[in-house]
């Protein structure tokens, strides 16, 4: 093989390697662009849902006020429970007295 033939062979081989590398690079770029488009499509679909989630969770900030108001409400229910227990006890005594008085008569 002559020097000229070796140069042509080396040049041709390098050209083929560059061609294969270019095709691989183009395929990778195409896949990256397709993935970016899919991400954009999914983002456009998820954006309204994210807005809805933000709107639905906005009330969480108000929970501190609810917790603050719950203390007095719990105290009120405890007072009502004590009063109703006292009423139940008194009506039970009246019932026992009436049933005892009715049995004695």
DSSP 8-63: HHHHHHHHHHHHHHHHHHHHHHHHHHHHHHHHHHHHHHHHHHHHHHHHHTGGGGGH
Q: If DSSP codes are grouped into helix, strand and coil, which group holds residue 1?
A: coil
Angle, alpha carbons 88-93-95 (nearest 5°): 90
Q: With bands split at pLDDT 50, 70 and 90, how would you rate the model's confidence at 105?
A: very low
Angle, alpha carbons 79-83-89 (nearest 5°): 145
In tens, the pLDDT along 45-64 reads: 999 998 888 888 888 888 88
Query: Mean pLDDT in the chain?
Result: 88
**Domain locations in the chain?**
1-56, 61-105
Residue 13 pLDDT > 80: yes
Give the whole-angstrom CA distance, residue 19 versus residue 91. 100
């Amino acid at each position: 093989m002559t020097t000229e033939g070796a140069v042509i062979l080396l040049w041709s081989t390098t050209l083929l390697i560059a061609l294969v590398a270019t095709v691989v690079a183009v395929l990778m770029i195409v896949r990256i662009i397709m993935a970016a488009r899919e991400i954009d499509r999914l983002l456009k679909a998820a954006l309204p849902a994210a807005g809805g989630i933000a709107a639905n969770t906005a009330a969480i900030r108000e929970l501190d006020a609810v917790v603050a108001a719950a203390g007095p409400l719990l105290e009120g229910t405890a007072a009502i429970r004590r009063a109703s227990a006292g009423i139940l006890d008194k009506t039970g005594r009246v019932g026992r007295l009436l049933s005892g008085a009715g049995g004695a008569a």
